Amino acid sequence: MWESESETAAGREYGGGVLTSTKHGVKIEGFHQRGNSWYVSADIPSDLQVQIGEASFHLHKYPLLSRSGKLNRILYDSRDPDLNKIAMDDLPGGPEAFELAAKFCYGVAIDLTASNISGLRCAAEYLEMTEDLEEGNLIFKTEAFLSYVVLSSWRDSIVVLKSSEKLSPWAENLQIVRRCSESIAWKACANPKGIRWAYTGRATKASSPKWNEMKDSSPSRNQLVPPDWWFEDVSILRIDHFVRVITAIKVKGMRFELIGAGIMHYATKWLPGLAGNDTTIQGEETSNNSNSSFSSGDNNSSWRGGLHMIVSGTRDETSTLQTKDQKMVIESLISIIPPQKDSVSCSFLLRLLRMANMLKVAYALITDLEKRVGMQFEQATLSDLLIPCYEKSETMYDVDLVQRLLEHFLVQEQTEGYSPSRQSLSDHKNVGSNLNAKARVARLVDSYLTEVSRDRNLSSTKFQVLAEALPESARVSDDGLYRAIDSYLKVSAIISLHHKYIYDKITKASNFIFNEIAFDLQNKFCLILP
């Protein structure tokens, strides 16, 4: 973990330049709190009450007016010299930030830390504590601390960005979010070999070493730094700030597969139902949530597994706020996944697609996600494809979705096959790779057909369309398809004219291949036909 000088030392350095209380003609002994009210122990009574939410501050006009342009304007615009109460409920940072700003106005030394600097900087802007009123005012002090202390520290940049979540749009307008995001991105992309540093890695309990530690004690001299060292720290950020960091990291040229791994790690933290074996970070235990699965024993099957932690029972029973947050995270993650193939695993994409359908994510993003799955469809597993129908449908599984994924895969294969750049470099190895991919997909589709064929509500049309979607050359053997047909015939109560395709496949196999499975199926089929 990158680190700056200690926060306390930095606070003394930047907070020590406050005015003395005697300059304002008010001698104070300090601030004290009673309930939700703050009071100043002074030689003269307070003449101004500032209300911030439920907290009230009993202060003196002169120390505040000498440094706050906003308070000056409020009192001037009121045209009431006896005005002694002001409410500022919209002050960013709330009572905590105003308390520090008020102490600063009185000349009380305050410690600037990564935890309070963001709120204090926004409050200073709100109160218009500029250099026009007095040299070394609070805006200048907080800006200096941000620029020279926070942005030089990995930990402080993370803490400030995290604390900025409740300060929108002030933190955004003051470029705090942008500067912290770029600082984090620069450090994540830097070569650790030339830096004296340490990282929190997967354990956040240990305190962070400092920039000024002895070089001999630097972990980078004694051990290899894993490329995923920054995953855990960045994953504490809210999704919009995480997107800003990842976007900045992309601009700086980090490898797309490492960015994808960071996105998968973040997803497992914020979407527990998405956790799976392929998202395991090397050397780290994954979430205890198991892969989501769908029991296909009967029509009353229901979700079991990780997603049950997010959506318990029907969708109507799900918390509206929770659903909105989950949906926002999914949409944001889809938008920042690197476009390159294999930047994230196919299994991750399918689980993300499963949740996207469940939470009714924007259609354009779902379409984009389906195309991404099509690029890597040969890597999918049967359990990944067993996605239930969340729309009103007679079937348990979303067969239409799998049909679309298969079409995207075939389009991608055709596009790559006819690409001039690919043709110029094509050889027997590339051709064999394409055939192997299609063969894997064929086996996957046949296994999927076998599974969904147990659904009595699956129409023969859907069964046939999915079975015929792949070219005949894709199947090395038709055994998997025959097993799917056998399973379908066991469940189907009526054989329609659409089954001519099935009968033709069985006849071809029994006449020319003498396949035992096909011959058995032909006998069953003839018994059912009228």
Q: Determine the residue type at 207.
A: S
Closest CA relative to residue 236, chosen from 269, 285, 211, 209: 269
Confidence at residue 77, expressed as pLDDT on a 0 to 100 scale: 84
DSSP state for residue 316 in the 8-state scheme: G
- CA 419 to CA 426: how far, in whole Å? 10
- In which band, very low, low, confident or very high, does the pLDDT at 424 lie, cut at 50, 70 and 90? very low
Helix axes 500-508, 460-468, angle to 10 degrees: 50
pLDDT, tens digit, 9 for 90 and up, residues 473-517: 888 888 888 888 888 887 765 444 445 555 555 555 544 333 455
Q: State how far the alpha carbon of 309 is from the alpha carbons of 264, 289, 391, 506, in Å.
A: 18, 8, 21, 45
For the stretch 444-464, what's the b/e string if a residue is b when 16 or more beta carbons lie within 10 angstroms of its beta carbon?
A: bbbbbbbbbbbbeebebebbb
Backbone angles phi, psi at 33, to 5 degrees: -115, 135
- CA 480 to CA 471: how far, in whole Å? 15
Confidence at residue 205, expressed as pLDDT on a 0 to 100 scale: 38
Supply the pTM of this predicted model. 0.77
Q: What percent of the chain has pLDDT over 90?
A: 45
- In which band, very low, low, confident or very high, does the pLDDT at 313 lie, cut at 50, 70 and 90? very low
- In which band, very low, low, confident or very high, does the pLDDT at 32 lie, cut at 50, 70 and 90? confident
Q: State how far the alpha carbon of 520 is from the alpha carbons of 130, 276, 436, 470, 514, in Å.
A: 89, 40, 29, 24, 10
pLDDT, tens digit, 9 for 90 and up, residues 104-140: 998 888 999 999 999 999 999 999 999 999 899 999 9
User: pLDDT higher for 319 or 147?
Assistant: 147
- CA 360 to CA 365: how far, in whole Å? 10
Q: Is the pLDDT of residue 450 over 80?
A: yes
- Coil, helix or strand for 134? coil
* Contacts of residue 527, Cβ cutoff 8 Å, sequence gap at least 6: none
